[in-house]
Structure 1
Amino acid sequence: MEQTVVISVLVAGAILAALLATLGMAGAVHVTSRRAHGYMHLIFYAILVIVAMNNFLSGRDISSSAVKLEEAAVVVRHPLVALAQPLVSLLLLTLAGERIITHWLQRDKTAQAPSAMLMAFILFWAGTVAAPALLGQHPHVSHDYVYPLLIGTAAVLATSIERDLAFKAARNALLLFMAAGLLLIPFKPTLVLDLSYTQGLLPGLPRLSGLAAHAVSLGMLAQLGLLCLLARPLRNIWLNRLAWGMGLVVLFLAQSKTAWISFTLCSACILVVRRGPAFLRRASDPVRPEFGIVSLLGFMVAVAGIALALMFGDIDARLSSFFDSAQGAQLASMTGRDQIWAIAYDEWQRNPVFGYGPTLWDVSFRDSIGMPNATHAHNQFMDTLSRSGAVGAAALVLYALVLLVLSIRYARASGGLSLALFVALALRSISEVPLLLFGYGPELTTHVLLLMTLAAAAHEAHARKKQPASFSESAEPRFAGNFHPSPVTSRVRP
């Protein structure tokens, strides 16, 4: 009898949730029917709020030691998180669904969406999520798999206005997220700091995790927040400087070498795209050759210095000594990730076509291999290969190639942001899984921003083709500085 009542309540709740989602989406479509944009930018607030709630209410203590693969982590799900999670999912479903429906209803009034990217994304989701969920060795279907599909599809349909709003919302959400983690240090130091961390550049300096799941994730979010500041600086110059200072402090205290390297390379991409042409013109100016001569001499000195260091710096002996040390051995094994990659490769060999399935690396599987904290394969390609087999791996490679080509194609139009975001995802994919679409989390933010950046650039390119020749000849790249106003984006206040 009790089981019947429970099932009835669950069914009624599911029907009510579906009804609310339908009504919410219909209301959202009606509200935005006369607006040039929807509310997709709110997804960044929603995702980071649920992440912050989950970690703040978990009661964790990360001060004793760093997480080890052979030690089980105790995860506590607070009742408030259990209540808020479905509401956030419903909000994401409504926001993304509204954009898709509105685009379909107004398809003759809007610029054409980048069909290649849209098809590549849908094929990527189908090959890496739908195929293993239905045809994998251990099939498993969940409603969580639908959210990334809808969010990504809505991101591909984004216009220039929605891109601007998205970067502004992501910037604000990430700054608030980082500030909250710093403000908790005096009150809950063991919640946000690893006081026993000893592998940093400065011995004894605690490692900051903030309200992220771990310090590596916080480093990724900090570098993304700084990239958003590059794209959308705060209007108040002193507040903007304070935001930069806080972001750099968080990036440093997270002590993630991958995040440091990624931020350096991403910033270099933006600087090269924005300043590179002017630098080349100045360096090759025959009227004033002094700058070019000095630049060439500086380059020659740098190359000579590197050559001398390689020839006389005893690099081989130093490298050998380093890899013989404990830290060198840890680096050589990618902090034990080589063991995880070996397990992932074995699982792919057992299920070569469609892979193990979505439940790979779940609790029961991790217990069976004795690695309770190995929640994924710690490499995007190896994780996709083991979960989704050759079908998923092929979809991943195709999708990555499409993103790379479009990122390079629209690099100048986006002021280097498309290339910077792609580099951030590519570097992150070496040791993490930022393109995993079996649910939503903080990793999805960079992915969505890249899709919206590429979609908006394609939208602007399509709009410029429709303009008269007199306008198109004088058209400038939209991201030459910081989202310059254009005929498409002039209604958004900077």
Structure 2
Amino acid sequence: MSANEVVFTRALPMAVIGGVSTVAAILRGGVRLGHGAVPLLLLFATFGVFAATGQSPLMPLVSLATLLPAIIVPARGFSLDALRAGARTGVGSVVIAVPVVYAWKPTDVIGACRLDKCSAWGLALGAEGTGNALGMYLAGAGALSLLLVTGALTRLAVLASALVLVDLTASRSALISFVVAAGVVLLGQVLAAKFPSKPWAQLGLAFSAVAVAVLPLTTNDPASYTGRAELWIYARELFWQSPLAGYGPSFWVGGNGSDGIDRNYSTHNLFTELLVSGGVLAVLSFAAAVVLAVRGPRTQVGSAHVAATASIVMLISLSEVTSGPGRIYLAPCFLAYLFMAAQTTQTPSTGRGAPEECPPQSRGKYRRVGPLSRTSSRRRLAEVPGQLDGAATPTRRMG
């Protein structure tokens, strides 16, 4: 398969499903623009200008199609429980597929290492290694899975298995990205359990955004990061020549090599990719979309889930562009999941025995009394009398 065929094979199912589900939502009626949709539409409008002046519109259109379900949203939003269950099924299917394909074609799955890259086992997924694509997907899926499961032992099993799979791809970028992303997620979960009133996931997102921008801006040795720094330096030079709107999403890959730069598929960093593709407008539009996405869910837990997902998207794009707007990169699913999660209207399940949140309209009016029942996840709530109401009110159960 050619490079373009691989790209569209990777993205076409998502684009088709996104388009069909959006049309179905419109036909059913009661749709709205999603949280973060306006900045995303402005970003793609900027890309559309470059398409009108000669760049191919195909990549931006396919990228937009993968995000359509998060742009045109049913008025009632989505179920985060269902979205999380779907993500668990998808990740599990990939993990199951690896041993199945190995049993079918063992020499095509586990083979010799690629050049100077190798796993701790002296072998690699793929006869000559699979490069960074599979490794970056597994890094993102492994970190995201830590948000999709509950219980310390389950998280430990996810962490260990993901680490083995990522290492087996012999991708150094994937291994570093997974360690950093998983570390930020786990640290946020530990801190949130001890100090639940603090916005740890949002602070993790701020750290991740700063990291993805500072890394390429402060690296000046072209040989650093296995030559990626040369791309970042060149991207910075290009930015100053067209700082406002950049050069379009297909400019970088459309180069003929006359500048001596091995462009590959991207600038190998999400921040520099946005700078080259759309300049300051793209960076600000994407940042605004992420901020609005984090503010979208109606619960603190839902907002934290989106913020943690956004952190993962940033951190798996430190030295690659795993998922981003405007083109089909290594794994477009992560960006789609981020903005889909922002459109949810319920608190995700936090595991058996976890406390349930009161409905927004009842907050401040009710307090919990008594321990959680062994046979039910419901808690008894007693209404607190008002300051000026001298009579006690009976205990009521809430569904």
> TM (normalized to structure 2)?
0.65
Kindly tell me: are residues 118 and 75 of structure 1, through their superposed partners in 2, closer, same or farther at Cα, counting changes over 3 Å?
closer
* CA–CA distance in structure 1, aligned partners of residues 269 and 11 of structure 2: 27
Match in the other structure for 2:192: 273
1:418–1:453 Cα contact (<8 Å) kept: yes
* CA–CA distance in structure 1, aligned partners of residues 162 and 62 of structure 2: 29
Shift of 1:336: 0.7
* Match of residue 305, structure 2, among 405, 410, 417: 417
Gapped regions of structure 2 (runs ≥ 5): 199-219, 349-357, 369-376, 380-399
* CA–CA distance in structure 2, aligned partners of residues 391 and 94 of structure 1: 30
Q: Encode CA deviations 1:51-110: one digit per residue, 9 max, x unaligned.
A: xxxxxxx5xxxxxxxxxxxxxxx74958xx9899767643432123323554xx125xxx
Shift of 1:341: 1.6
1:411–1:419 Cα contact (<8 Å) kept: no
Q: Encode CA deviations 1:6-59: one digit per residue, 9 max, x unaligned.
A: xxxxxxxxxxxxxxxxxxxxxxxxxxxxxxxxxxxxxxxxxxxxxxxxxxxx5x
Any idea what SS the aligned residue of 1:384 has?
Answer: helix
Shift of 1:377: 0.8
Q: Which amino acid aligns with 1:444?
A: P
Residues 149-298 of structure 1: pairs in structure 2 closer than 5 A: 149-155=64-70, 157=73, 161-185=78-102, 187-190=105-108, 193=111, 195-196=113-114, 198=116, 202=120, 205-208=122-125, 214-215=131-132, 217-225=134-142, 227-228=144-145, 230-232=147-149, 246-254=161-169, 256-277=175-196
Kindly tell me: are residues 372 and 89 of structure 1, through their superposed partners in 2, closer, same or farther at Cα, counting changes over 3 Å?
same
Shift of 1:418: 2.3
Match in the other structure for 1:406: 295
Any idea what SS the aligned residue of 2:145 has?
Answer: helix
1:148–1:440 Cα contact (<8 Å) kept: yes
Q: Percent identity?
A: 16
Residues 453-492 of structure 1: pairs in structure 2 closer than 5 A: 453-457=341-345, 464-465=359-360, 467=361, 469=362, 473=366
1:222–1:251 Cα contact (<8 Å) kept: yes
Q: Indicate whether 1:394 and 2:284 are aligned.
A: yes
1:191–1:210 Cα contact (<8 Å) kept: yes
Match in the other structure for 1:142: 57
Match in the other structure for 1:106: 30
* CA–CA distance in structure 2, aligned partners of residues 430 and 83 of structure 1: 25
- RMSD of aligned C-alpha atoms? 4.6
* CA–CA distance in structure 2, aligned partners of residues 82 and 162 of structure 1: 29
Q: Which amino acid aligns with 1:148?
A: S
Shift of 1:352: 3.4
* CA–CA distance in structure 1, aligned partners of residues 66 and 97 of structure 2: 26
Match in the other structure for 2:255: 365
Match in the other structure for 1:93: 19
Match in the other structure for 1:375: 265
* CA–CA distance in structure 2, aligned partners of residues 406 and 346 of structure 1: 34
Match in the other structure for 1:432: 320
Shift of 1:345: 2.6
2:142–2:158 Cα contact (<8 Å) kept: no
Kindly tell me: are residues 442 and 232 of structure 1, through their superposed partners in 2, closer, same or farther at Cα, counting changes over 3 Å?
farther
* CA–CA distance in structure 2, aligned partners of residues 441 and 243 of structure 1: 25
* Match of residue 445, structure 1, among 319, 328, 333: 333
* CA–CA distance in structure 2, aligned partners of residues 394 and 83 of structure 1: 31
Q: Which amino acid aligns with 2:141?
A: L
Kindly tell me: are residues 373 and 258 of structure 1, through their superposed partners in 2, closer, same or farther at Cα, counting changes over 3 Å?
same
Larger helix percent? 1
2:80–2:346 Cα contact (<8 Å) kept: no
Q: Which amino acid aligns with 1:250?
A: L
1:418–1:450 Cα contact (<8 Å) kept: yes
Kindly tell me: are residues 274 and 197 of structure 1, through their superposed partners in 2, closer, same or farther at Cα, counting changes over 3 Å?
farther
Match in the other structure for 1:348: 239
* CA–CA distance in structure 2, aligned partners of residues 470 and 411 of structure 1: 12
* Match of residue 118, structure 1, among 29, 32, 37: 37
> TM (normalized to structure 1)?
0.54
Shift of 1:215: 3.5
Gapped regions of structure 1 (runs ≥ 5): 1-57, 59-73, 280-328, 476-483, 487-494
Match in the other structure for 1:335: 226
Residues paired across the two proteins, number: 335
Any idea what SS the aligned residue of 1:218 has?
Answer: helix
Shift of 1:132: 3.4
Q: Encode CA deviations 1:280-338: one digit per residue, 9 max, x unaligned.
A: xxxxxxxxxxxxxxxxxxxxxxxxxxxxxxxxxxxxxxxxxxxxxxxxx9997122111
* CA–CA distance in structure 1, aligned partners of residues 364 and 127 of structure 2: 49
Kindly tell me: are residues 242 and 167 of structure 1, through their superposed partners in 2, closer, same or farther at Cα, counting changes over 3 Å?
same
Any idea what SS the aligned residue of 1:455 has?
Answer: coil
Bigger-Rg structure (1/2): 1
Any idea what SS the aligned residue of 1:368 has?
Answer: coil
- Report which structure shows greater RCO (CA 8 Å, sep ≥6): 1
